[in-house]
A = this chain, B = another copy of it.
Amino acid sequence: MLTIGNLAKRTGTKVQTIRYYEQVGLMPEPGRTDGGQRRYGDAELDRLSFIRHARQLGFSLDAIRELLDLSDHPARSCEEADAIARRQLKQVKQRMARLELLRVELERMIEECSGGQAADCRVLEVLRDHAECLTDHEGIGT
């Protein structure tokens, strides 16, 4: 039987985060000691590992909910899990493309910085000059 702190250590999660997952229904309500402290078994350890791994892969909590549901019903089609993963991959690729544009522009800005007064600073100039703006108006979409 694991305390919440040990479960946290084993999965690289913060204690508060585990309680949060319980609150939003991703983790089940665990058993408690007489004093009211949570105690976890192997099933919960596995489930939390699954969640953390999926988070590291960038899945949203909603997507993880779907995946957990799927893995609780192994007779259902694999296609759903595949679709979720593909959606995720698409997002990752989009973010990378966006970041690549930013990287290029930032490097140019830094390279052209004269090191003098702010009045001559290319960093500020590039940001100020609307003509050099990326043409789309999408924002960066964290």
State whether the Cβ of A37 lies closer than 8 Å to any Cβ in chain B: no
Give the chain B neighbours of A140 by CB distance below 8 A: 55-58
Residue of B nearest to A74 (CB): B119
CA gap between A11 and B137 in the complex, in Å: 8
A-B contacts besides A49-B130, A56-B134, 7 pairs, CB < 8 Å: A49-B133, A55-B140, A56-B133, A58-B140, A71-B127, A92-B99, A142-B142
Give the B-binding residues of A (Cβ under 8 A): 11-12, 46, 49-50, 52-58, 67, 70-71, 73-82, 84-86, 88-89, 92-93, 95-96, 99-100, 102-103, 105-107, 109-110, 113-121, 123-124, 127-128, 130, 132-134, 137-140, 142
